[in-house]
Chain A
Amino acid sequence: MRVAVIDYGMGNVFNVERALQAIGCYVTITNDPVEIEASDAILLPGVGAFPQAMQALNETGLVPLLTRMAVEKPFLGICLGMQLLFESSTEGMPTTGLGLIEGRVERMQAKRLPHVGWNSILRDEDVYFVHSYHVVTSEANIVASADYMGERVPAIVQKGLVTGMQFHPEKSGTFGLSLLKEWKEAVEREAATGN
């Protein structure tokens, strides 16, 4: 399976690449529309602040293509890449996101931020989080969540072909890799049934 990891200059994409390779994906780190169209799935990574990331993404000119890809191919956003999938964020200044899933990004209420470290989600397994903002979206879009100082943190969201992971599956040990593998297998099933 060929995954296009979108290269827009935000954060370290190499560990995402290594993790995808470890589960048997063929990875291209790219901002080339032709390569993106030719891939089986899209991965939007991201570390940093929402406004800068959205600006960087807009500057690549890829937003219309990515918006179209999100209804045609499996599309995974990780960490800030997940937050960008939503309609807007209040981080720094109000900013419009990709709007692939209804909802917004807001600063968490917890007294101690960032939310850093291992926290449990599905099946009580732990994954590695680093963030201070979280998404606010309808229950129907939330697959799994974590609890941080009494606050509920959406950890996996999904709508149609679009999936988001607030944590770093590429840094969440064997369980993190198994989540990426589940995503990969779902993509392959999609492909086999011709959507």
Chain B
Amino acid sequence: MLKRRIIPCLDVKDGRVVKGVEFVALRDIGDPVEIAKYYDASGADELVFLDITASTERRQTMLAVVSAVARKVFIPLTVGGGIRSLEDISSLLKAGADKVSLNTLAVESPDLIKRAADRFGSQCIVIAIDVRFEDGEYFVYTYGGKQKTELRAVDWAKRVAELGAGELLVTSMNQDGKQNGYDLTILDLLREAVDIPIIASGGAGNADHVVDALERVDAALLASILHDRKTTVEEVKHVCSERNLPMRFVTTQTD
């Protein structure tokens, strides 16, 4: 039986992992390889690295991070943040990423989703949708949540699925960093709208919140509650499992 997935998300700045609350207030928590190994050992099903470096050297730094992690950790790695072209995607995949997550680029050049899916395969194209609920509607935001667009989340999700997106990573900006639960309404709406896997993000404060999300969608992205050690991947998985959600438990030990 297919398992629900727990995916720790690591924000990377200048080659180091940091964390964000409501997209600001960063705090260094360390070395990407060590953190990736830690999460792999604790049962993470995949990892997402979000590059939040602003400098022009960002690309090389991130490639080095991805390459270092891919030599030590053998679970799917997704990289997002600041991807501007098919060439950027190609270099990240060569460095060891299995998937890339596109947000602003996808909104600005939707045809690029199709070109990327044709060239690299749908399986490696994750479309990140930052959603804010305003005036009774779910709007799509770009530029790390700074720029509002006129796109409605459900329409956009259907469109990117048609263009060849392999998965959706949906972040509720209203809930992000608040730790009082996911926006379940948008998850229900999107589940209804598309067949491709959906990863829920933004708002998890405890394992019960994760259960709520995983009763609706395929995967949950976790950041603060893991980094702050409020809970662990193992603990979240056990709670989900007790609530009859199919989860993966690692029994093969490293030798």
Q: Check if B75 sits within 8 Å of A12, measured CB to CB.
A: no
B244 interfacial by beta-carbon distance below 8 Å: no
Q: Check if B98 sits within 8 Å of A15, measured CB to CB.
A: yes
- A18-B71, A118-B3 known; A175 vs B121 contact (CB < 8 Å): no
* 6 further A-B pairs in the complex, CB-CB below 8 A; given A118-B3, A119-B1: A14-B93, A111-B195, A116-B123, A120-B1, A172-B75, A173-B74
Interface size class on chain B is: 20 to 34
Nearest CB in chain A: distance from B208 CB, A = 22
- A116-B123, A126-B248 known; A14 vs B76 contact (CB < 8 Å): no
A112 to B98 alpha-carbon distance, docked (Å): 22
A126 to B98 alpha-carbon distance, docked (Å): 18
**Complex partner residue of B250 from A114, A120, A149, A174, CB under 8 angstroms:** A174
Q: Check if A115 sits within 8 Å of B2, measured CB to CB.
A: yes
B81 interfacial by beta-carbon distance below 8 Å: no
A119 to B45 alpha-carbon distance, docked (Å): 11
**Complex partner residue of A47 from B75, B121, B167, CB under 8 angstroms:** B121
Nearest CB in chain A: distance from B70 CB, A = 6
A176 interfacial by beta-carbon distance below 8 Å: yes
In the bound complex, residues from chain A placing their C-beta under 8 Å from that of B218 are 116-117
In the bound complex, residues from chain B placing their C-beta under 8 Å from that of A113 are 195
A125 interfacial by beta-carbon distance below 8 Å: yes
Q: Check if A177 sits within 8 Å of B74, measured CB to CB.
A: yes
10 smallest beta-carbon distances between A and B, as pairs: A175-B252, A126-B248, A130-B123, A118-B3, A118-B248, A174-B252, A112-B195, A47-B121, A119-B2, A171-B76
B122 interfacial by beta-carbon distance below 8 Å: yes
**CB-nearest residue of chain A to B122:** A114
Q: Check if B96 sits within 8 Å of A14, measured CB to CB.
A: yes
